[in-house]
Chain A
Amino acid sequence: MNEKECDRVIIDAAKKYLNDHPPGFKLFRGRKSYTAQQIIESLEKDKNFRKWFVENVLKLSTELLLRGKS
């Protein structure tokens, strides 16, 4: 699996996860805020946001694995 395919797996999983979020949900990042729908859109359209998101999913997963959490 190359990097792009790996990103795609994460993005698809994130979309599935976000679809179940209540309408009032928001993610704040500095001055910007995103509803679940806007996160899904940004994952497709915004290269920087996608990079930030995938990077942080991987960092959290790695940390949990290393600490033996699941």
Chain B
Amino acid sequence: MVCRKRFKAVYRVVTSWKKLKGVLCAPKFDEATEYSYRWAERLQEQIGNRMEIILLLISDAVRDKVEKALKDNPDAMLIHYNHGEEDALIGQDTRPVVDLGNVNLLRARESYNMNCLSARTLGKAAYQNGCLAYWGYTEVVSFTSDAEENFCEAFNCGLLLRLEGKSWKECLELTKAKMTEIIDDLVKRGNTLAAMSLREDRDSLHCWGKDIEEPREECPVSRFTVFLFGYKTLSKLRKIRDFLKQPQD
């Protein structure tokens, strides 16, 4: 009995020495992704040697390579910086690198995402499929070019806190508090548009994880649809709605 306890204590110490691993997927193919790519580069600098990072950048940020990297490194966190959809993370070829078809690859690992919408459906599906934590945004992410540094700080904050040993719940609370600080600073500087965008980003930031409350669908019709038919149907209906509500002149 004593021997087993000692073994467990030693095992805990040894495993805590093991370096964290991450697969960083960052495509770059349009103006918005030039920014997300720069933020991913900055994140890499900020992480330094606290994490072993497998880089899947630009042409390497495609489905096959992401799947292979995740299969080869079952303990690695997936970090994705690019466009996203409700049910997909987008790659260099503008096709999904992770979607509901291969969401099981996120099982037993954490996923840190700086992309639009994916925390809505993909995040939930990932968490329900055994993903340890899924960090992302439930709405379209917006930002302004004149506050690039401030947005970078806000978007990278969560992972850096995690590397300090905080729980995902703490990371979420502290990141939102940091975002509020940045919003106030932007307002003081008269940068209202940036403040407005970051406020929306902050409110749509969510982490699917232990002890974290699920985001509630605000719209009662959406809640009813999810209750009756599930998120996939709601997602399809939203796509039809968005198509029908194209900008009108």
Residues of A within 8 A of B (CB): 17-18, 21-22, 24-31, 33, 42, 45-49, 56-57, 59-60, 63-64, 69
Contact: B32 with A45, CB < 8 Å? no
Interface residue count on the B side (C-beta < 8 Å) = 27
* Given A56-B200, A69-B184: A45 and B249 interface contact (C-beta under 8 Å): yes
Confirm or deny: B141 has a beta carbon within 8 angstroms of a beta carbon on chain A. Answer: yes
B198-216 interface with A by 8 A CB criterion: 199-200
Known pairs A26-B145, A64-B187; list 10 more (Cβ under 8 Å): A24-B145, A25-B145, A27-B145, A27-B197, A28-B145, A29-B141, A29-B197, A30-B142, A47-B248, A56-B199
Partner of B35, one of A28, A49, A60: A28
Cβ contact within 8 Å between A48 and B145:
no
Q: Which residues of B contact A46 (CB under 8 A)?
A: 247-248
A contact residues around B145 at 8 Å (CB): 24-28
B247–A28 contact, CB under 8 A?
Answer: no
Residue in A closest to B200 when the chains form the complex, CB atoms: A56
| Nearest A residue (CB) for B140 | A30
Q: Which of B48-56, B188-196, B229-237 contacts A (4 or more CB under 8 A)?
A: B188-196
Q: How far is the CA of A57 from the CA of B195 in the complex (A)?
A: 10
Inter-chain CB contacts under 8 Å: number: 70
Instruction: State the CA gap A10–B111 with chains docked (Å).
Output: 39
Q: What are 23 A-B contacts with C-beta separation under 8 Å?
A: A22-B146, A25-B144, A25-B146, A26-B145, A27-B145, A28-B35, A28-B142, A28-B143, A29-B142, A29-B197, A31-B83, A42-B247, A46-B248, A47-B248, A48-B245, A49-B247, A56-B197, A56-B200, A59-B196, A59-B199, A60-B183, A63-B199, A69-B184
User: Chain A contacts of B45 at CB under 8 A?
Assistant: none
Instruction: Report the minimal beta-carbon distance from A38 to chain B, rounded to whole angstroms.
Output: 12
A69 in complex: contacting residue of B31, B144, B146, B187, CB < 8 Å: B187
Contacts of A22 in B (CB 8 A): 146
Interface centre among B183, B193, B195, B248 (most CB of A within 10 A): B193
Minimal Cβ-Cβ distance residue in A for B190 = A17
A57 and B248 CA atoms in complex are apart in Å by 22
Q: Which residue of B lies closest to A69 (CB)?
A: B184
Question: Complex Cα distance A69/B183, Å?
Answer: 11
Docked pose: A33 CA to B145 CA in angstroms: 10
